[in-house]
């Protein structure tokens, strides 16, 4: 668990990362890199049904890996850490949950298909008439969460079986937030292997990180420590603390390496040139369609919680968190001349119903898949550190080409490890 106030967490993570990466880079300049290990991180943002967007991107990446290494290749075979928040946390657990043969149970395409089949039941639409939906949702959210969460809980338990964190086929990192202690809780495979009480069911972790305020009720569960004492968790969506878990993942893996506890503790040093980080967003609305000061100046409590079918206060917190992380991670990799080792794929021009986290109609889900496909053909973009706006990067091609380059690097690294 982290300190109580999240306002101190992000700056502290940034300072820690800067110190770790600067120290590592200094060591690397004087050490012979006889161990060319590359540490790979996959990070997936929260965003409800918009998880279809990163799932579409991951399906493409897995296809490229299968072209290189055969049809059995899975995303979790290539990433040392898969971090996810909210819908990204559900995806992370699905990608890393083992089958009976201890191989990944689901492919990236399975994850994408999960949304098309189950999202309409997780986010049931009361009526096909938009106005009736909005009225029903408004009154529903005034007296309780928009959805009861029953189907989310049942399907999470079904697909994740009875597996726990320590059983994942690769390391996972999933943030949630404990409303009783007012503290973020970061679930990790490393911690689950070290402490019995942190070895929660993957289904509990997935449900907890997805329990978005106003949409789903909080999730309560218990674990026990080695002495049998009960540990209680009262959790909501990890997006209130780290909707983009990239920074959390990088800091965690580097901290473990530096203190000699990580599985790569035999490495002499690590820096941005020896990390591959793929960070996938779930899209943000077109800027011209966001809220404005004139209309918000008349809002009261209810308007901030519910406006036109969405929750402005939750949207603002989650989007701001994601954007700040991207800005800081971009700065870290740029300072170490390793910008190409950090690939952020994010759509910043969602329109119509696509910005919604819970519009699980067939039409909107098809539109979200189309957004993901178009992202693949879009040029590689990075956040402009002055404006905060994504700008096309000249000379780096499309996202599909960048992902193909990542696939080659990931495949080479896996083969190198297998040859040892």
pLDDT, tens digit, 9 for 90 and up, residues 353-378: 999 999 999 999 999 999 999 999 99
Look at residues 81, 118, 56, 120 and name the one whose alpha carbon lies nearest to residue 282.
56
Return d(Cα 132, Cα 3) in angstroms, integer.
43
Question: Is pLDDT at 154 greater than 50 in this prediction?
Answer: yes
* Residue-level pLDDT at 263: 67
Please compute, for residue 16, the number of CA atoms within 13 A of its CA located in the half-sphere on the CB side.
17
CA distances from 292 to 27, 302, 315, 355, 386 (A): 48, 17, 14, 16, 22
Query: What pLDDT, in 10s, does the model give residues 263-286?
Result: 666 655 556 778 899 999 999 887
Measured CA to CA, the distance from residue 268 to residue 35 in angstroms comes to 8
pLDDT at 140: 52
Average pLDDT over residues 323-327: 80
Query: End-to-end alpha-carbon separation of the chain, Å?
Result: 36
Say what the pLDDT of residue 190 is.
Answer: 92
Residue 129 in this model has a pLDDT that exceeds 70: no
pLDDT of residue 36: 40
Specify the pLDDT at position 312.
Answer: 78
Q: Check 17, 86, 210, 411 and give the catalytic one.
A: 86
Instruction: Identify the pLDDT of residue 31.
Output: 35
The alpha-helical segments, DSSP class H, found in 259-311 are: 293-296, 301-305
The pLDDT of residue 287? 64
Least confident of 41-45, 68-72, 209-213, 332-336: 332-336
pLDDT, tens digit, 9 for 90 and up, residues 182-222: 999 999 999 999 999 999 999 999 999 999 988 999 999 99
Region of 397 please: left (phi>0), alpha (psi -120 to 50) or beta.
left
Lowest-confidence range among 6-15, 88-97, 281-290, 341-350? 6-15
Nearest to 368 by CA among 377, 379, 356, 378: 356
d(CA 340, CA 333): 8
CA–CA gap between residue 98 and residue 366 (Å, rounded) = 29
pLDDT for position 260: 73
Is the sign of the CA dihedral 333, 337, 343, 345 positive or negative?
Answer: positive
Strands (E), 281-394: 342-345, 381-383, 390-392
CB-based contact 380:402 (threshold 8 Å)? yes
Which residue shows structure tokens 């011209």? 288
Q: Does residue 117 register a pLDDT over 70?
A: yes
Q: How far is CA 10 from CA 235, 251, 322, in A?
A: 20, 11, 11
DSSP 3-state helix, strand, coil percentages of the chain (rounded to 5)?
50, 15, 35
Cβ neighbours around 81 below 10 Å, total? 27
* Confidence band, pLDDT 50/70/90 cuts, at residue 130: low
Selection from 238, 264, 201, 271 nearest residue 29 by Cα? 271
**If we measure between CA atoms, which residue out of 188, 206, 202, 196 comes closest to residue 256?**
188
Around Cβ 42, how many Cβ atoms within 10 Å? 32
More confident residue, 202 or 25: 202
- Say if CB 333 and CB 344 are below 8 A apart: no
d(CA 368, CA 350): 9
Q: Whose CA is closest to 84, among 217, 232, 273, 280?
A: 280
What pLDDT sits at residue 248? Answer: 93
Q: Is pLDDT of 326 > 90?
A: no
- On average, the pLDDT of the chain sits at 85
pLDDT for the residue 141 = 52
- Give residue 331's region: left, alpha or beta (phi > 0; psi -120 to 50): alpha
3-state secondary structure of 346: coil
Catalytic annotation present for 348: no
pLDDT score of 120 = 97
Query: Is 315 annotated in the active site?
Result: no
Residue of 237, 315, 319, 326 marked catalytic: 237
Residues 20 and 396 sit within 8 Å (Cβ to Cβ) = no
HSE at residue 297, side-chain half, CA atoms within 13 A, is 3
Q: What is the per-residue pLDDT for 17? A: 52
Residue 308: Cβ within 10 Å count? 11
DSSP state of 49: G
Please check the confidence at residue 29 and state whether its pLDDT lies above 50.
Answer: no
- pLDDT confidence tier of residue 258, bands split at 50, 70 and 90: confident
């Amino acid at each position: 668990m982290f300190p109580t106030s999240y306002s101190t967490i992000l700056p502290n993570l940034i300072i820690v990362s800067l110190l770790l990466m600067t120290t590592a880079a200094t060591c690397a300049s004087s050490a012979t890199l006889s161990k060319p290990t590359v540490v790979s991180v996959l990070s997936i943002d929260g965003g409800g049904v918009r998880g279809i967007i990163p799932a579409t991107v991951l399906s493409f990446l897995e296809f490229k890996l299968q072209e290189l290494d055969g049809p059995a290749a899975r995303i979790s075979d290539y990433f040392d850490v898969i971090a996810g928040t909210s819908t990204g946390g559900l995806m992370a657990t699905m990608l890393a949950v083992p089958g009976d043969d201890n191989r990944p149970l689901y492919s990236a395409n399975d994850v994408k298909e999960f949304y098309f089949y189950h999202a309409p039941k997780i986010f049931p639409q009361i009526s096909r008439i938009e106005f009736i939906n909005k009225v029903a949702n408004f009154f529903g959210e005034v007296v309780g969460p928009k959805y009861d969460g029953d189907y989310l809980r049942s399907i999470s338990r079904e697909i994740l079986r009875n597996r726990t964190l320590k059983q994942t086929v690769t390391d996972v990192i999933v943030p949630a937030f404990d409303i009783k202690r007012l503290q973020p809780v970061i679930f990790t495979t490393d911690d689950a292997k070290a402490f019995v009480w942190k070895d929660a069911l993957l289904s509990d972790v997935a449900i907890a990180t997805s329990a978005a305020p106003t949409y789903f009720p909080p999730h309560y569960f218990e674990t026990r420590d080695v002495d049998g004492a009960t540990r209680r968790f009262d959790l909501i969506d990890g997006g209130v603390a780290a909707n983009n878990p990239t920074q959390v993942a990088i800091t965690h893996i580097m901290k473990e390496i530096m203190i000699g506890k990580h599985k790569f503790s035999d490495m002499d040093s690590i820096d941005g040139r020896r990390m591959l980080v793929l960070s996938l967003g779930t899209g943000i609305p077109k800027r011209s369609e966001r809220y404005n000061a004139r209309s918000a100046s008349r809002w009261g409590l209810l308007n901030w919680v519910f406006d036109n079918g969405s929750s402005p206060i939750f949207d603002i917190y989650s989007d701001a968190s994601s954007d700040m992380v991207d800005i800081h991670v971009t700065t870290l990799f740029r300072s170490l001349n390793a910008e190409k080792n950090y690939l952020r794929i994010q759509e910043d021009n969602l329109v119509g119903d696509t910005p919604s986290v819970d519009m699980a109609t067939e039409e909107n889900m098809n539109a979200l898949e189309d957004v993901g496909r178009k992202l693949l053909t879009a040029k590689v973009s990075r956040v402009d550190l002055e404006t905060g706006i994504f700008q096309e990067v000249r000379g780096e091609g499309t996202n599909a080409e960048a992902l193909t380059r990542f696939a080659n690097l990931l495949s080479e690294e896996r083969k190198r490890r297998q040859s040892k």
